[in-house]
């Protein structure tokens, strides 16, 4: 096929740790203490210090970790494959190709061509294929249809990746745990950044780990208080709705809406947890200096409340959890619902002087 060092001299100098940097090895450059160049047994190879026992690649110690199948530019110049070695290994006898039958030897002859444990070898279609290219890539990857890359030795597959097409200009990478993704930033010859986990329907990230959203069920969340007509500040700054939670849940997907259908939904890829017994305030303005002095406003309220003839609904994933309606409101006075479900005008002042208990338990109605 080809000699590994026919044009990738940097590979020999920095990764493979063999002599002869600057010029390809020739017969005269071979170690003088091993002048007889007869075919060697399959379990030996020639290193800089003479013939030694070979260190062939073994199953479980070689991984294909990244590849560029659809580069921006000519495929036959800019395709590359990165292979990682877990232990000290000789490339002699190693095969790389689009299938087991199509795999070809990457290093000809009897030279060991050693690779250190923990090293990456970048096989490129040309020396310009990547910022660092260590050896020649002897086949075309292909960027559409079902494709494969196989690394093997003596007819045994050491690693294989299958892929179905590739996005132009994006390498495909494999994490240490086997997670595969398009590389945000290609890293041939270096560790891959972690793949961003992909959320499925109804999932959120809990400290970086995807899990199912634990949303409230009927009876676990209710509308407990609302200010429709603030007096200390204008309506667009001072309106708010409070929701009480009976159990610890995730807020993700929780939605408030008004009679017209305007709504506010809690949207986040991260799980937003709330504790049992919490009174969460959705406010038109979160800044206490502008919302009438509500220091505990937690979530934005994107729609305005009518002073009268209004309905507020609370639901999640299309399921209604609670609904309240009111015919009128009193300026500067919130409407509250106590623990017995009774409704009345709020009596305790907060912030700049309006009445209500935003973010706290409501006193019992008279």
| Regions in the chain scoring below 70 on pLDDT | 1-42
**Secondary structure (DSSP) of 117-179:** TTEEEEEESSTTSSSS--EE--S---SSSEEEEEEEETTEEEEEEEEE---TT--EEE-TTS-
CATH domain 221-345 topology:
Immunoglobulin-like (2.60.40)
- pLDDT at position 289 is 96
- pLDDT at position 178 is 86
Tokens of 151: 């690394």
Task: Give the tens place of pLDDT for each residue, 142-190.
Answer: 889 999 999 999 999 999 999 998 999 999 999 888 889 999 889 999 9
Residue with tokens 């260190």: 55
Exposure string for 222-255, b = 16+ CB within 10 A, e = fewer = bbbbbbbbbbbbebebbbbbbbbbeeebbbbbbb
Q: Which CATH code is given to the segment(s) 4-182? A: 2.60.40.1260
- pLDDT at position 35 is 41
- pLDDT at position 77 is 96
Task: Give the tens place of pLDDT for each residue, 256-309.
Answer: 999 999 999 999 999 999 999 999 999 999 999 999 999 999 999 999 999 999
Cα–Cα distance measured from residue 323 to residue 281, given in angstroms and rounded to the nearest whole number: 16
Beta bridge partners of 160: 150
User: Where along the chain do the CATH 2.60.40.1260 domains lie?
Assistant: 4-182
DSSP 8-state symbol, 12:
I
CB 280 within 8 A of CB 229: no
Task: Give Cα separations from 209 to 58, 85, 274 (angstroms).
Answer: 33, 28, 18
**Secondary structure (DSSP) of 241-303:** EEEEESS-EE-TTEEEE-TTS-EEE---SB--EE-TT-EEEEES---TTTTTS-TTEEEE--S
Q: How, if at all, do strands 297-300 and 279-283 pair?
A: parallel
* Angle (CA) 36 40 42, round 5°: 170
Cα–Cα distance measured from residue 173 to residue 184, given in angstroms and rounded to the nearest whole number: 9
What is the phi-psi region of residue 286: left when phi exceeds 0, alpha when psi lies from -120 to 50, beta otherwise? alpha
- pLDDT at position 42 is 54
- pLDDT at position 198 is 79
CA 221 and chain centroid, separation: 32
């Amino acid at each position: 096929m080809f000699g590994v060092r026919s044009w990738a001299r940097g590979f020999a100098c920095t990764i493979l740790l063999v002599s002869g940097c600057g010029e390809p090895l020739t017969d005269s450059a071979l170690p003088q203490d091993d002048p007889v160049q007869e075919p060697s047994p399959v379990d030996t190879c020639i290193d800089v210090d003479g013939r030694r026992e070979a260190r062939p690649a073994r199953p479980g110690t070689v991984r294909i970790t990244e590849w560029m199948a659809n580069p921006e530019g000519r495929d036959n110049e800019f395709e590359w494959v990165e292979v990682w070695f877990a232990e000290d290994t000789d490339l002699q006898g190693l095969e790389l190709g689009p299938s087991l039958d199509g795999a070809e030897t990457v290093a000809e002859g009897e030279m060991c061509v050693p690779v250190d444990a923990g090293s990456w070898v970048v096989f490129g279609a040309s020396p310009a294929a990547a910022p660092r290219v260590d050896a020649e890539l002897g086949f075309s990857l292909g960027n559409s249809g079902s494709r494969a890359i196989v690394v093997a030795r003596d007819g045994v597959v050491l690693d294989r990746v299958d892929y179905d097409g590739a996005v132009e200009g994006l390498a495909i990478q494999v994490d240490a745990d086997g997670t595969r993704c398009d590389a945000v930033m290609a890293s041939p010859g270096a560790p891959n950044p972690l793949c961003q986990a992909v959320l499925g329907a109804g999932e959120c990230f809990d400290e970086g780990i995807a899990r199912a959203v634990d949303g409230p069920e009927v009876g676990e969340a209710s509308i407990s208080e609302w200010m429709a007509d603030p007096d200390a500040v204008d309506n667009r700054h001072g309106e708010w709705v409070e929701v009480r939670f009976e159990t610890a849940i995730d807020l993700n997907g929780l939605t408030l809406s008004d009679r017209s259908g305007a709504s506010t939904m809690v949207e986040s890829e991260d799980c937003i947890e709330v504790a049992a017994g919490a009174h969460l305030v959705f406010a038109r303005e979160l800044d206490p200096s502008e919302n009438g002095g509500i220091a505990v406003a937690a979530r934005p309220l994107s729609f305005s409340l009518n002073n009268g003839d209004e309905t507020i609904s609370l639901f999640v994933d299309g399921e209604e959890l609670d609904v309240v309606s009111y015919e009128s409101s009193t300026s500067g006075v919130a409407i509250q619902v106590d623990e017995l479900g009774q409704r009345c005008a709020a009596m305790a002042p907060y912030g700049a002087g309006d009445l209500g208990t935003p973010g706290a338990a409501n006193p019992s109605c008279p």
